Amino acid sequence: DQQVKQNSPSLSVQEGRISILNCDYTNSMFDYFLWYKKYPAEGPTFLISISSIKDKNEDGRFTVFLNKSAKHLSLHIVPSQPGDSAVYFCAASGSWETSYDKVIFGPGTSLSVIP
């Protein structure tokens, strides 16, 4: 049973437009969330994170939104660039406070940004 779900295996977006990648989780013990980006033949690299005490975190073109009541988070990329084409993994973890220290990754969403 997947605890972290990314229901869109792939997404295509025109360059300059907004990309929205979605992630849903089921375990209420998760209270820290991360997004990783992966290019082919490389390991994932950390992109952005958010704690459950926040509902938004922004870093340049990347913004993560968290809706804790819906157990849903999303990553917004604005404007999208061809170099953003990659697989994006959502990950969820417990914090020291919850003592739930597993990190669970979602299956990933492959983003293609079309020039």
Partner 1 sequence: GAGVSQSPSNKVTEKGKDVELRCDPISGHTALYWYRQSLGQGLEFLIYFQGNSAPDKSGLPSDRFSAERTGGSVSTLTIQRTQQEDSAVYLCASSPQGYRYNEQFFGPGTRLTVL
Q: Which residues of 52-90 are buried (b: 16+ CB within 10 A; e: fewer)?
A: beeeebeeeebbbbbebeebebbbbbeebeeebbbbbbb
Q: Output 1 or 115, the one with its CB closest to partner 1.
A: 1
Of 22, 27, 49, 74, the residue at the interface with partner 1 (CB under 8 A) is: 49
**In 3-state terms, the chain is what percent helix, strand and coil (to 5)?**
5, 55, 45
Binding of residue 1 to partner 1 (CB under 8 A): no
Structure tokens belonging to residue 1: 């049973």
Binding of residue 67 to partner 1 (CB under 8 A): no
DSSP designation for 69: T
Q: Output 37 or 85, the one with its CB closest to partner 1.
A: 37
Residues 83-112 touching partner 1, rule: CB under 8 A, are 89, 91, 93-96, 101-108
Structure tokens belonging to residue 39: 């290019």
Could you tell me how many residues of this chain bind partner 1 (CB under 8 A)?
Answer: 26
CB 20, min distance to partner 1, A:
19
Which spans of this chain sit near partner 1 (rule: CB under 8 A)?
A: 4, 6, 32, 34, 36, 41-46, 49, 89, 91, 93-96, 101-108
